[in-house]
Amino acid sequence: MVSNAPNKADSKAKIGILGASGYTGSELVRLLLRHPNAGIALLTADRRAGQTMAAVFPQFSPYDLPKLQSIDGIDWRAVGLDIAFCALPHGTTQTVIKDLLARAPNTRVVDLSADFRLAPESYAHWYGHAHQAPELQREAVYGLTEVYRDAVAKARLVANPGCYTTCAQLALIPLLRANAIDTGEIVVDAKSGMTGAGRAAKEEMLFSEVSEGIHAYGVGHHRHMAELDQEFSKAAGREVIVSFTPHLMPMNRGILSTIYVRSSQSSPEQLHGVLLSWYANQPFVHVLPFGQMPQTRHVRGSNMTFIGVARDRIAGRAIIGSALDNLVKGASGQAVQNMNVMLGLDETTGLEQAALFP
């Protein structure tokens, strides 16, 4: 059996994955199994505690991985993780991380939930209750690597961005920072694959309900909007409220954001130029030639984001496309990218694989 467990001899960082029975958890395992500097030492999954990872995700049958265990009663100090990836549901996350960091001062956390992404007041507004770890909420660094790389490097707690928001932010933040587009009526029409909705057994996520169709959901009140407003406003230097409409469609992986913007001052070609130069030396964002639009299938399984810019037929407007794999750059891949930055490794370590197409 193949094993990548860390040991005294090697220099592998000691990794724990909290919530390994979901899709972001298994994706972390997939990526870390091929990471030369990281070893999986701990896997938790309360509902599946005591089972093997192979029982929950048969694709890992050939690999030698730690058994799944319950979070309760883990001695965080004794385990001595270097990095803990937290892929737990919203809510429980904040108390688990608060406890973990209190007991294991040398462990650093990359949290994939929404718990530490928002500023306190915004969190209270959108989630309807006070945060359980406000001081950590203030300490947490928002982990959109391309934008906050330096802060991530020093962070003890990184709030990994959402999949929808990563996709839209990578396309728009450079333009907002350059003051190149109007901030009044930005429209983001997003199409997502089903893994973005998680692995919980719900009627509306059954194959027969999802196949052969598409629909919008959460129109006007999707929590990802808070994250977009917050980061867009920071980038623009003034309040931005974005129109964001997510759609669910029959594919496993991928998010395509088709973004409609107006620019009083810049041509579509100039917007394209801003993105080209901004991402010239970023390994995981590729700006396509002007007029070419991205396809989600061309980033599947990779940590890449493809961005395209085209001229709208309405004068003064442009159409921007952004595509990524929601489980990789939209979640677990960016989490590993952040880990690499935190550990001072080459940012692309373990993330080199090209997209799986077809």
Binding to a copy of itself (CB under 8 A) within 63-82 occurs at 63
Count of residues interacting with a copy of itself (CB under 8 A): 90
36 binds a copy of itself (CB under 8 A): no
- Provide the mask over 304-333, with x wherever binding to a copy of itself is found by CB under 8 A and - wherever it is not: x-x---xxxxx--x-x-x-x----------
Q: Which two three-digit tokens encode residue 328?
A: 């990789």
Binding to a copy of itself (CB under 8 A) within 225-264 occurs at 225, 241-245, 247, 249-254, 256, 258, 260, 262
DSSP state of 314: S
276 binds a copy of itself (CB under 8 A): no
272 binds a copy of itself (CB under 8 A): no
Q: How far, in Å, are 110, 127, 213, 216 from residue 53 at the CA level?
A: 21, 32, 33, 34
Minimum CB separation from a copy of itself for residue 48, in Å? 11
194 binds a copy of itself (CB under 8 A): yes
Binding to a copy of itself (CB under 8 A) within 44-63 occurs at 57-63
**Long-range own/partner contacts, residues 75-80 (CB < 8 A, 24 or more apart):** 75/103, 76/100, 76/103, 76/104, 76/107, 77/103, 77/104, 79/14, 79/16, 79/41, 79/42, 79/104, 80/14, 80/104, 80/106, 80/107
Minimum CB separation from a copy of itself for residue 27, in Å? 9
Q: How far, in Å, are 122, 242, 288, 303 from residue 347 at the CA level?
A: 31, 31, 22, 11
Binding to a copy of itself (CB under 8 A) within 143-182 occurs at none
212 binds a copy of itself (CB under 8 A): yes
Alpha carbon distance 168, 121 (integer Å): 23
Strand partners, 189: 245, 258
- 118, 163, 309, 339: the active-site residue: 163
Q: Which amino acid is at 309?
A: V
Query: Residue 322: enclosing H or E segment and its boundaries?
Result: strand 317-324
354 binds a copy of itself (CB under 8 A): yes
Among 300, 332, 336, 347, binds a copy of itself (CB under 8 A): 300
Minimum CB separation from a copy of itself for residue 40, in Å? 12
34 binds a copy of itself (CB under 8 A): yes
22 binds a copy of itself (CB under 8 A): no
Strand partners, 307: 287, 322
Alpha helix locations (H) across 45-106?
53-56, 76-79, 92-103
Answer whether 159's CB lies under 8 Å from 242's CB.
Answer: no
Q: Is 163 a catalytic residue?
A: yes
Minimum CB separation from a copy of itself for residue 165, in Å? 15
Q: Catalytic residue positions?
A: 163
